[in-house]
Amino acid sequence: MIFAGGPGKSLEAGEYVERAISDIASQSLVRAGFAYATETGLETFLRGETTNDWRDLTDSEWIVGLDQGITEPGALKNLQSHGNTEVRVYLPGDRLSVETLTGRPRFHAKTISIESFKHSSQRRLFITSANLTHAALGGTPSNYELGIAKSVADGLEPEEVKTFDTWWDSVWKNSKPVTDELIEQYSEIREEAHTQNPILGEYEASEHVRYASDAQCLWIETEKMTGGSRNQLEFNEELSRFFTRPSDDTNRIIIDFNGRVYDERPVNTRITDPPFGVRIRKLGLPTGFNYREKVIHLEKVLTDPGEKPRYRLTVRERGDKDVAEWKRLSEESGIVDETGGGRAYGYYK
């Protein structure tokens, strides 16, 4: 079976693992190896269709690479802190140092194995191009990735299983267990490496907002709008993370517009036609206003800790000076791009 992912379309590797664990219905073991792991990528991967952490259902072993210091210490901490999990990191030498982050050989695999302790016929392998990062395996990825899954029922041969197990055991024996001390040491060495070589730390050092979910402000051009009141604005999955979570098929937000607070404005989901099946979110703006051929701006405002944020709505003509300022701010500290339909958008802190 081939899994395809791309911008706005998750590879759904976490969902595959969760389904496989459920199908086994007995004590199982998941082995996962990734060259890079980040906190956001791991969080999405661990929460499948039910949004629960599938590690609670199985034992798991993890091998993670530290090449170039891309793997985040927080991701290692997440893995290491789970009771059913053993996690190791591959190092090209016995000692963790700045040099090991750029040394060879490197651990560059991206693979998952799911097996039953009782039934060898339930073995599954998943091989993918994707790392354990938001860009690759997140709910709103920006990379095009592929994955191939094979089970005994699909023709996975004993020799193929043996090849994988031999390879895994070899890498596992040559990897180091993750401890609190190792994470602390890695954090310090990683920071030092990024200071010495700014290219390595470019992603971390950048103050740019790289995902809509982290932005404080989002703007987007409108066209004719949809809905009977012409008040529905469509966003792709990535942009919708500005005000929703991956698990929300229906969400409601609070909008502040023209001196009035509009509670429970809907954010609904629709899925485009096959074969790609991209998820689209539709935001219902306050009715009675003309939004067509404009630019809308939403600012996330946190009123009280623990409370839902409000979204301050501003509507401007496309040539307005405010629009030029929003674009400038997005270019300085965020993203400026176009939707598939050609509507300009951007977001920033």
pLDDT tens sequence across 251-289? 888 999 999 999 888 888 776 655 555 668 889 999 999
Sheet holding 145-151, edge to edge: 2-5, 145-151, 124-128, 110-116, 28-34, 59-65, 85-90, 175-177
Count of alpha carbons within 13 angstroms of residue 136, beta-carbon side? 20
Q: Could you give the maximum distance between any two Cα atoms of the chain, in Å? A: 69
pLDDT at 101 (0 to 100): 84
Average pLDDT over residues 308-335: 90
Looking at residue 45, its amino acid is: F
Average pLDDT over residues 28-46: 90
- Alpha helix stretches (DSSP H) within the chain: 13-24, 39-46, 73-80, 134-137, 158-173, 180-196, 202-205, 237-240, 321-333
Maximum average pLDDT range among 104-118, 156-170, 219-233: 156-170
Lowest mean pLDDT among 146-160, 200-214, 229-243: 200-214
**pLDDT greater at residue 249 or residue 241:** 241
Rounded Cα gap, residues 2 and 14, in angstroms? 15
Q: Confirm or reject CATH 3.30.1240.10 for domain 2-205, answering yes or no.
A: no
Q: Tokens standing for 161?
A: 């299983």
pLDDT at 295 (0 to 100): 97
Give the 3-state secondary structure of residue 127: strand
Looking at residue 5, its amino acid is: G
pLDDT at 144 (0 to 100): 86
Looking at residue 277, its amino acid is: G
CA distances from 164 to 4, 13, 21, 120, 150 (A): 23, 19, 19, 14, 12
pLDDT at 298 (0 to 100): 95
Maximum average pLDDT range among 51-60, 107-116, 246-255, 323-332: 107-116
Which contacts of 194-202 are long-range, i.e. CB under 8 A and separated by 24 or more positions? 194/69, 196/98, 200/68, 200/69, 200/101, 200/102, 201/69
Give the 3-state secondary structure of residue 191: helix
Segments making up each domain of the chain, as ranges? 2-205, 212-348
pLDDT tens digit string along 235-248?
887 788 888 654 45
pLDDT at 202 (0 to 100): 54
pLDDT at 207 (0 to 100): 41
Instruction: Give the mean pLDDT of the chain.
Output: 85
Report whether pLDDT(102) > 60.
Answer: yes
pLDDT at 206 (0 to 100): 41
For 151, counting Cβ atoms within 10 Å of its Cβ (0-12 exposed, 13-18 middle, 19+ buried), the class is: middle
Report whether pLDDT(77) > 90.
Answer: yes
pLDDT at 146 (0 to 100): 92
pLDDT at 199 (0 to 100): 61
Give the 3-state secondary structure of residue 332: helix
pLDDT at 204 (0 to 100): 46
The answer for residues whose C-beta is within 8 angstroms of residue 76's C-beta and 6 or more apart is: 37, 64, 87, 89, 178, 182, 183, 186
Looking at residue 78, its amino acid is: N
**pLDDT greater at residue 211 or residue 202:** 211
Maximum average pLDDT range among 123-127, 228-232, 281-285, 338-342: 123-127
Q: Tokens standing for 1?
A: 């079976």
Report whether pLDDT(138) > 50.
Answer: yes
- Asked if 133 and 37 touch (Cβ cutoff 8 Å), the reply is yes
Average pLDDT over residues 50-65: 87
Q: Which CATH class is domain 212-348?
A: mainly beta
Report whether pLDDT(8) > 70.
Answer: no
pLDDT at 162 (0 to 100): 95
